[in-house]
Amino acid sequence: MPAPSDHNASNSLLPHYLQEDFGTQGFRELISSLPKEKGWLTPNIYNYKGFWFGAFHLQGALRFQQHFQAQDSDILLITLPKSGTIWLKALIFAVITRKHFLVSQETHPLLTNNPHELIPFVDVSYARETTPDFPLSNGVRVLSTHFPYPFLPESVREKNCKLIYLCRSPKDTVVSYWHFANKMRGEKSENNKEMKEISLEEAVENYCRGVSLGGPFWDHTLGYWNQSSENPRKVLFVKYEEIKEEPEAHLRRLAAFLGCPFSKEEEKGGVVGEILRLCSFDNLSGLEVNRSGKGVFGNNNSVMFRKGEVGDWRNHLTDEMASRIDQIVEEKFNGSGLKP
């Protein structure tokens, strides 16, 4: 990513994703022309074509659209922030590489690497450079993004690549995102005094107004839900809560969708259960790399893990907050056939 402008050299002390004075003159002019609000993870968040982005992520989105050339073998994992992204990445990596990396081996990459390192965000990659190189996992590119469907490059729509969208209850998502944002803001507050904690009331208010990365959450989710209905061979829509309830059935579903179903021998050998144990919250969160390692934004990997539970929102949201989110879900998803 281009270096910050000389007239604001203090920005060089900030992580890339917190900076806003970068890029071409045209990009800076675009940013200055957009509606903005206070960000969750960034100083500001900008509305571009109906969706909200930090400046860093918007640069990534524009470059992704302009430069990315999809391949038929590509796999894209799509989520809203704090919807189970790490878990999905771990599961998919373990599934597609299981012939090369035996799940039981002590040197499995998931034991020494955070899933974000093994399956990169195109958001971050393109924000940092114009033409990033992406690693291969068992001969295919597996990438992830928080971008809404309208922001995917035309080549993604034209090619036969596979898209997997993971949806999570908005009430659990907003609570998890609130916790995560405050942990991240706490780590960066020394270099940016404006990064004070967000109150739960403010977080819920913004989420309900659609003001969050990739939001509004209802438009983001419905965009992929509709695509999964129109083209189920290309787009698979899965729910976090359903995977938690029936993990083996849904892991088989994921493998079959990707064209690498489990063989009878693998079923008899307990490979499905081994993958689920390897990728479990307790196992991943307890690994040294995830307790003390550094993440893609320079943060501690430990901030990526909290509880991973279904229904934890009950310990945080008031009845009024929960009712408001329920009403929005009922209104926005009415007639779609989706009940998140």
> Which residues are part of the catalytic machinery?
146
**Distance from C-alpha of 156 to C-alpha of 79, rounded to nearest angstrom:** 16
Cβ 45 vs Cβ 213: under 8 Å: yes
| Neighbouring residues of 179: CB distance < 8 A, sequence distance ≥ 6 | 306
Integer CA distances (angstroms), 106 to 101, 102, 110, 232, in order: 10, 9, 10, 36
Pairing mode, strands 142-145 and 51-53: unpaired
Amino acid at 108: H
308 Rama sector, left if φ>0, alpha if ψ -120 to 50, beta otherwise? left
Q: How far apart are CA 4 and CA 16, in angstroms?
A: 9
What are 165's strand-pairing partners? 78, 237
Residue 227 Cα distances to 183, 208, 220, 231, angstroms: 34, 24, 11, 6
